[in-house]
Structure 1
Amino acid sequence: MELIMAGGVRIAGLVVALAVSVLLAIGLGAATVAPADTARYLWAAVTGGEIAAGEVTSYQIVWQIRAPRVVLAAVVGGGLAAVGVAVQALVRNALADPFILGVSSGASVGAVGVSVLGVWGALGIYAVSAGAFLGALAASVLVHLAARSRAGTTPLRLVLTGVAMAFGFQALLSVLIYLVPDAEATSAVLYWTMGSFGAATWGVLPVVALTVLIGLVVLRRLSRPLDVLSLGDETAASLGVDAAGLRGRLFVLTSLVTGAMVAVSGAIGFVGLVVPHVVRIVTGAGHRRVLVVAPLVGGVLMVWVDLVSRTLVAPRELPLGAITALVGVPVFIVLLRRRAYLFGGR
């Protein structure tokens, strides 16, 4: 009972922390808006309330520019953390994250290919996102087909194939970037591949938010099978779990969710790698708890990373992937050196 109460308090605290982080991040920036005014503008936008004529500029900054960006950051952060948990169970590898299967590299190739070839112009600002999503799906299919064998798709084959495919996609990406016609376009493409929420709008948010939400619900329902899958295929079979079938479903689900996120944010590393490990230290290894806490932690982390990205060297923005790597590398090394925490059971 005490553990359940402690878990409930922890989750409630994280929900409050996420809400406060979102509110503060929306108000902070080149033009700072007080938290009370930020909340009032958001309430007016949601309920159709009125604001004073002199507050229109601040209102537009809050609702049209910052709110979709901050909400998208929370959604993507939570999605990356949850998918990281699932992928680590999927391949039984402590070093796995949402991009180890080549999905991120495939999405980058799709986005850059659209930019270089100039196709799908009718989609306007959504052309790059569509290319990224289709590239992620294509990469997932290629990795899955290449990793299959008569004995099925084993975790080791999946990881090795994903890593090899990722290198191949990176090589193709380099060629495409070399073919970009001008330096400005090259800079924009490189910046996208390192992660950014700069293109966030209310128009793109519903699709990725719904995709991540569905992914979270499905993963939560699979929490017990994920616990069994983490023990190995033989143990899973003895407990009545079809490891190969479950792994296939997880592969499809994580690829779809990752593709949707990469399509709107670019490649953001280390969130899906580090957050699951940090959460397991606090909550234990049970996926039922981890899959509730990890998305909240990932959402809070990404909201503040995005805030640092757009304010530290304003008016320029730092790539999100660079910040998450600078934070994630030392954290991961500290975790690795903890004697009380074992990676891969060794």
Structure 2
Amino acid sequence: MKKLVDFAYQWTGKGEHRRRVAIINDFLDALERCPLEACSADGSRGIGYYALRYALDVINDSPYLRTHPARSEFKRLIYDKPEYKASIDIRSITAISSWVGDPIADLDALPETMGFYGREPSYGPFSEAGMTELCNAVYQEFGNSVSEPRLFSVTDVTWSEERIAGNTGASRRFSLWRRLSSRERCSPTRIDALMYPVALNDAAFLTLIRDWRLVLVKHNPMLFEPFLNVKEVWPDGISIMEYERYSGGRQKEYWLIPKPHNAPPEVRARLVCLHAQLDMAGVLDVFRSVCEARSAYLQVQPHLADDIVW
């Protein structure tokens, strides 16, 4: 009798496994009919630190990731280090935040000319009096988030070359000041800053890049039913944050896709093809962007003046 019960249990288990694999294959079939497509990022939120921080906010609010094994790694991925004051090379600032609109991450793309009080715009370099006027104009807009005057609030992304200055409206003037200061090769201009360093938990990041891939793709309502089906039988597999049949005008979404070794053996070959298709489509890969930022930091850092910590 015991052997009969064991046989029935094994048969039921095998049947459930076959059903699970079949539903996963159905979902992969749907992805072949409606392949994932790349989409443009939302301004500077799709670049570097902002892309990662925004993705983490979406993930933490996602109802589809509450029991996912990757959730705990995401929750401890970024942490704050103690703040400090320092005199830093103005050229180390790579982006400017904004209270209104998107942050600005490409400072060199801003207009190079600037005019004051009705005078004709000028390319610079300014005279000493002109540079003083420019600096004063910047300080009138910056520094409202800190108590001390002429002190910039700077988010220091410690795993990349990103340093983000807090701003309330003088991004073009700050960009011009930074550009003119870059010509002073021997004695770079320094600014005083209250530094807010953010760090990456290497152990959590290693787990994520080993087992998962986080990509930003176009929203496709045709994948709604297949996704719900596969989520039921593979809750620790492919997951889509904020997914709905009707996106309310949303055109893009984050997908968390397991690496092939993290999938059932029967579908690993198809997962390899899916990842290759994502590479060919040119989708934004958030983890890869972090890795590239770390590499760029090692190349850029030696060319900047060292911080002087107070």
TM range (shorter): under 0.3
Could you say which structure has the larger radius of gyration? 2
TM-score by length of 1: 0.23
